[in-house]
Amino acid sequence: MRKTIRLDGARHEVTLALHGATFRVGEGDRAIEGTRHWEGARLALELNGARTQAHVVRASGGRLEVWIDSERHLIEEEGRAAGTRSGGDDDVLVTPMPAKVVRVNVAPGDTVTEGQTLVVVESMKMELGLTALRDGVVATVDATPGVLVAAGVVLVALVPAAKQEAK
């Protein structure tokens, strides 16, 4: 199947083929082939013979945050995300899994930018920086270092930059 996606803001026309645990993603004359399966909250991948793990967090509007080797990548399917992006899900930062809060990098009133790390959590001996999905101003922070939180708990709420400027 053909899809138009945005990977970290750059537009790509890709072909995607899925057959059980195997996949192929192609763009032009380049392709990545491999196998995939879930191991708990992580996606185990074998790409062109090399093994790696990814942590995938579903964001609003059909977007995915994919973390590979501590690098964050944002993937959006064009058309699908555009129609739903105005929803309020981008205004809250939630824990993707049960975790312990390690660091809180913001306070109410702080201005933040898309991709900025707001809170760092730890789960299964791995630290994960939770980032802002849009530019905005921090409205509330409900995270305290050392506290254990369940999956789906709202840690930070934002007021979008556009709404803040209108005040």
Mean pLDDT of the chain: 81
Which of 9-13, 36-40, 116-120 is least confident? 36-40
Residues in CB range of 135: below 8 A, 6 or more apart: 111, 112, 113, 114, 160, 161
Q: 62-66, 78-82, 88-92 — which is least confidently predicted?
A: 78-82
**Which has more pLDDT, 111 or 163?**
111
pTM here?
0.50
Question: How confident is the model at residue 85, as a pLDDT?
Answer: 36
Query: Averaged over 4-29, what is the pLDDT?
Result: 89
Using alpha carbons, select from 126, 120, 123 the residue that is nearest to residue 102.
Answer: 120
Per the CB < 8 A criterion, the answer to whether 130 and 105 are in contact is: no
CATH no. for 2-82? 3.30.700.30
- Would you list the domain boundaries of the chain? 2-82, 88-166
Q: Which CATH class is domain 88-166?
A: mainly beta
152 pLDDT more than 90? no
